[in-house]
Structure 1
Amino acid sequence: MADLLELLAPHLDPTQSHDVTTDKYLTRLSTLSLEALQTTEPPSLAQSSHSTLLSLQALSNRSHRAFVTSADNLSTLCTSVPQLTREAQQLRDAIPKLDEEAVGFSTKYSKITDNAALERRKKAMQLSRNVDRLSDILELPSLLSKAVSAASVNSGTGVSSTTYSSALDLHAHIKRLQTLYPESPLIHDVASQAEDAMKDMTSNLITGLRTQNLRLAAGIRTVGWLRRVAPDLDMIQSDGAVGTGEGALGAIFLVCRLAHLVSTLEALDPLRELADQETQRRLSGKDKSDTTAWSGGQQTDRYLKRYIEIFREQSFAIVSLYKNIFNSEQSESEFGISGLRGGDAPSKAKSKPAPSDDPLQRLPPALATFPMHLVQLLTDTMRSYLPNVRDRSSRESLLTQILYCAASLGRLGGDFGMILTELGGEEDTEDMAYEWEEVMRKHRALAGRLEQLTSRVPVN
């Protein structure tokens, strides 16, 4: 191969005479015969050259952009490298000076405590670090309002219980933040918005006490929420209430249930209008003989029966719910009904003695005067419409129904049976007393027979 290389040296490029590829090809040529060199090698070289040319053309077509970019970068590389070296040297020379300036700035301003620019910078940096926490705090009022709204929409369901509990937890969290940061304007604004939401929740809960068919569990739950939402209501007059400890919540509960009772009785307005017509016809009569011309009070009888039925059911439910919710262990005198039996005001009801230096008497419990209002509501209605009913059996039926109503409320300490003797007007007071006496006699006789029958039943 050395002899072949010496023969071909004048025809080769001096820079590629010792190329590895050249050496491999010359080694291959030395192994070929003369006939192969003359016949097969030239076409093989031509084919290889053509293949290589096609490959180069395809590569140029695919990667011409990269070739152009590489050529441009390569052309500027000889100037970019020296420039980068100079700039790196300048940066290295400037670092000590920059360090000296930073140390001088820190030394100069670290001793100044009233610099406004530094204070603003510190506040901005602190705000940037706590932006997520502030965002969470700012969202608390909206979350609380949404919880209260959702609970009002789903009132009376299990969802409202969970939502009200969540709202109370959010409010408690806001109160803790207000305790931890009492001077923060942001926390103060958040707490103010939360209080507005809790006022709406209080209104919704009080409205919930006026719902129809209020159950004991729902009443206890609602009063418990009110005690957490508005603790001030639980503290008002708590020292004046005798053994109840319900504060103003007891009065609120009774007022709400009374409003529901009144709205339920107002549903009888169509019957009441018919009874009013009979009242007008009765009052327009010249004498008693004229009163026989009108119907005799059938519409009034229907109205009063339905009225007494609703009154009996609702009054018993109101007082029973009150006693169970507030756990009021009151004696009959504290209940304020003992005076009703004799027709007197409940001034003799026992109450907590007021201090000697207090010129005003403390208010009695809410339940002490509430039955009086209920009884007044019933007696006013009976006094207005009972004279319309002229049929004796109908009147006795109504009085018996009232007697059962009085006995029903009397199971809770509110028997008002003796007041019924005063239902009539001045002209028929004696007749009413006689009718009431007859009804009481029949009722006692029936009760005695029932007691005898009950006593004969053997107890296993």
Structure 2
Amino acid sequence: MSGDTQTLADVVGAPSTPASEEYLKHLTTLSLPDLLAEPTVLQTQAHYLTSSLVTLAHTSYPTFLAVHQSNSALNASLSTLSASLDTLVSDSLPALEQCASDWKNRTESVLKERKRARVVLEQHEKLRDLLDIPLLIDTCVRNGYFGEALSLAAHARSLATLFNNNDGSGDKGTQGAQPPPVLLSSILAEVDQSITQMLVSLLATLHEPHRKLPALFKAVNFLRRMNVFGGGADNVSPAIPLHSPVVAKVNGKGADFASGHTHYGASTDDTLQAEQQLALAFLSGREACLVASLDGCGRNIQGVIRELQATPGDGTRSLEERELEDIARYLKKYIDTWREAVYDIVTQYSTIFLERSPLPSNPPPTKEQLRELHTSFHSLLSTYATHSLTKHLVPTLSSALPLLAPPALPSLLTQLTYCASAFGRVGLDFRGLLADIMGKSVVAAVRRDIRAAGSVWAQELLKSYEPEEIEDGKTDMAMSRSKSSSSRSGVKVNRAPSKWLISPSLVASPPLPSGTSTPAHIPPPLLASYPPLAVFTNALLTTLNGLRLLAPLHVKEALVHVIDEEMVNGGQALLRFAEAVSADEKLEEGEIIIVKSCGEVYFNVFAPFVKRALVEGVYGSKVAESDEVLGSQAADMKRNWDTWTSSLSTLPQSQ
């Protein structure tokens, strides 16, 4: 029976729904009469519901139509929504994802910039201090605060070193030093430019005239600290100038600006070589100052010399007294300027390089190296002193002193002797050079004055006859004499000897040498009888009187040579005039006697007296010691004169 048991829902045939099950449970609770009456109740309710539904359909059909339409629209909307969802899932969402990814990539650089800007804003004070370093260094350099400038430069250098140390966290054996940031490189470049300007300023100090020892000592010390002449930089970043004084060596070698130990970490040889180069730079700079100081006076002296060299003719002329005074004044100023400048350079060099303590280096220099350095310093100083002497003073003296008159030379010699004695205190006595320079100058000055006096004598003789008839300029007396003998009728004398060669009161009886001699400092009175010869004597004695103030003993023979040479030249001029007088048939015999008497006085009184005035009057020696000087020329000249006097007897007498 259990297998045939069926539920009420199965018996009734109702669908198994919660409502039907609830209704069936309700039926089970009814009594039989109620249960029997239940179909009638259900039928009544069905008729009621049907009537209500019909009534509702008639009264609410628009609502049903609207619901139908809404249902249709809803179905269409759901289909469209399904298609849209499919499109969203398959197309729009991947595109949105790609756009979001692209947006992230595009905004990443902006975010980085914003992050960097935020970092810059946070480090604003530090960056401002860093950016102020070049400006502060430039200000210090412009105002002469070189120590502070070097300290700031050392700080900038330490930043580069710190960056390299922090950046080298990897394998240092395989990774090189990384370049510093662009900002740091830019700052270091500006610092390098300012330090370079400081270097130029320090080197310019060595070239500035009138700089005293403290300023020069300061400049040299800062040049040492900057290690200008040290070795090349190693391991320097390409962004930093290779030869920058600011970051000489980022690995700790080279200059230490803050501490002042310039060569600490450098080799001893580099240190010594750098000191030698620094000393050479100092001497080069001071040499430029010396040249600038001497330029004014030297230009004035050389201007007069060039003017003389540009003179037409033989290139020489007699200087006026004003020109001689100008040359002497310029020369004195030149010597004083040279003495002061060179003495200052020598003392400054000695104080800076020869009297300072040894340089710090690693390892310290040995005694032998210090001795070698000291020797090289002395060698540089000696070379420079010799250069300044032979380059500036000696050439100027050699070219200017011969232009001066002999009386102007003693004062210059005194000045030069004082100058040489002053340099003797520093071991640079050059008095040994003065003897040769002054000797040559004395000989040149005496020769110039004596030749000028002889030229006046020769011109006086030349004005008295026609030179073309005697071949003027010939030095061979035999040729001149044969010419005059062969063409006696063509010779013309412009001035008779009685009109100018002898005193008018003595024309009738021309005086002749008497054989008596006078002291070397007193001219023979006989010379006054012949005025041109007396003028010649006065000019020569004036020159010899000036020579007495400065008469170097080693040039005595040269001066005797000059005297004898001028005596020979004057005798030749007198002989040519005598031949012209004897060749002129219009002149009386008395004119020839006057010329003959003048010649006897010239050769037997005047020439010996002039030589004695030089040898005995100036040097206090005997004439016999100098008889052999130009003896052959003087003897030839005397023989030519004797030949002419002996030929007078063969000449036809004037009627």
Q: With structure 2 as the length reference, what TM-score do the two structures score?
A: 0.37
The question of 1:200 aligning with 2:197 is answered yes
Equivalent residue number for residue 420 of structure 2: 406
Matched residue SS, 2:275: coil
Q: Judging changes above 3 Å, is the alpha-carbon distance between structure 1 residues 398 and 410 closer, same or farther for their aligned structure 2 residues?
A: same
- Please list every run of 5 or more consecutive structure 2 residues that lacks an aligned counterpart in the other structure: 1-107, 165-178, 231-261, 357-370, 448-549, 556-655
For residues 367 and 429 of structure 1, the distance between their equivalents in structure 2, rounded to whole angstroms, comes to: 34
The question of 1:166 aligning with 2:148 is answered yes
Cα deviation for residue 304 of structure 1 reads 0.8
**Larger RCO, structures 1/2 (Cα 8 Å, 6+ apart):** 1
1:227-260: CA deviation from partner (whole Å, max 9, x where unpaired): 2234436879984998x97332222222222222
Please point out which of 337, 340, 354 is paired with 1:327: 354
Cα deviation for residue 292 of structure 1 reads 7.3
The question of 1:303 aligning with 2:330 is answered yes
Q: Is the 8 A contact 2:297 2:331 kept in 1?
A: no
Using the TM superposition, name which of 204-213 and 297-306 deviates more.
204-213
Q: Which amino acid aligns with 2:304?
A: A
For residues 427 and 269 of structure 1, the distance between their equivalents in structure 2, rounded to whole angstroms, comes to: 21
For residues 372 and 327 of structure 2, the distance between their equivalents in structure 1, rounded to whole angstroms, comes to: 44
Superposed, which structure 2 residues align to 1:210-359 within 5 Å? 210-232=207-229, 239=269, 246-268=275-297, 271-272=300-301, 275-276=304-305, 279-280=308-309, 286=314, 291=318, 297-328=324-355, 352=372
For residues 334 and 326 of structure 2, the distance between their equivalents in structure 1, rounded to whole angstroms, comes to: 12
**Structure 1 ranges of 4+ moved more than 6 A:** 115-122, 234-238, 292-296, 424-427, 429-432
Matched residue SS, 2:147: helix
Cα deviation for residue 168 of structure 1 reads 2.0
Equivalent residue number for residue 184 of structure 1: 180
For residues 380 and 186 of structure 2, the distance between their equivalents in structure 1, rounded to whole angstroms, comes to: 37
Q: Which amino acid aligns with 1:203?
A: V
Cα deviation for residue 429 of structure 1 reads 8.9
For residues 205 and 130 of structure 2, the distance between their equivalents in structure 1, rounded to whole angstroms, comes to: 30
Please point out which of 129, 133, 146 is paired with 2:139: 146
Q: Judging changes above 3 Å, is the alpha-carbon distance between structure 1 residues 294 and 241 closer, same or farther for their aligned structure 2 residues?
A: farther
1:276-295: CA deviation from partner (whole Å, max 9, x where unpaired): 366448x767599x647776
Cα deviation for residue 144 of structure 1 reads 1.5
1:383-406: CA deviation from partner (whole Å, max 9, x where unpaired): 111110122x31122122122212
Matched residue SS, 1:414: coil
1:90-138: CA deviation from partner (whole Å, max 9, x where unpaired): xxxxxxxxxxxxxxxxxxxxxxxxx989877765554443232122212
Equivalent residue number for residue 419 of structure 1: 433
1:393-450: CA deviation from partner (whole Å, max 9, x where unpaired): 3112212212221221221121222223443769959999x955689xxxxxxxxxxx
1:264-305: CA deviation from partner (whole Å, max 9, x where unpaired): 112326743663366448x767599x6477767322211111
Superposed, which structure 2 residues align to 1:372-383 within 5 Å? 372-376=386-390, 377-383=392-398
Rg larger in structure: 2
For residues 552 and 200 of structure 2, the distance between their equivalents in structure 1, rounded to whole angstroms, comes to: 45
Q: Judging changes above 3 Å, is the alpha-carbon distance between structure 1 residues 139 and 400 closer, same or farther for their aligned structure 2 residues?
A: same
For residues 433 and 342 of structure 2, the distance between their equivalents in structure 1, rounded to whole angstroms, comes to: 17
For residues 310 and 363 of structure 1, the distance between their equivalents in structure 2, rounded to whole angstroms, comes to: 25
How many residue pairs were aligned?
280
Q: Is the 8 A contact 2:290 2:338 kept in 1?
A: yes
Q: Is the 8 A contact 1:271 1:302 kept in 2?
A: no
Matched-pair identity in %: 28
Q: Is the 8 A contact 2:301 2:400 kept in 1?
A: no
Matched residue SS, 1:218: helix
1:149-195: CA deviation from partner (whole Å, max 9, x where unpaired): 3x2xxxxxxxx3xx323222211211211221234222222112111
For residues 381 and 128 of structure 1, the distance between their equivalents in structure 2, rounded to whole angstroms, comes to: 70
Equivalent residue number for residue 23 of structure 1: none
Q: Judging changes above 3 Å, is the alpha-carbon distance between structure 1 residues 419 and 285 closer, same or farther for their aligned structure 2 residues?
A: farther
The question of 1:133 aligning with 2:115 is answered no
- Please list every run of 5 or more consecutive structure 1 residues that lacks an aligned counterpart in the other structure: 1-114, 152-159, 330-350, 354-361, 440-460
Quote the RMSD (CA, aligned, Å). Answer: 4.2
Q: Judging changes above 3 Å, is the alpha-carbon distance between structure 1 residues 123 and 174 closer, same or farther for their aligned structure 2 residues?
A: same
For residues 118 and 202 of structure 1, the distance between their equivalents in structure 2, rounded to whole angstroms, comes to: 45
Q: Which amino acid aligns with 2:326?
A: Q
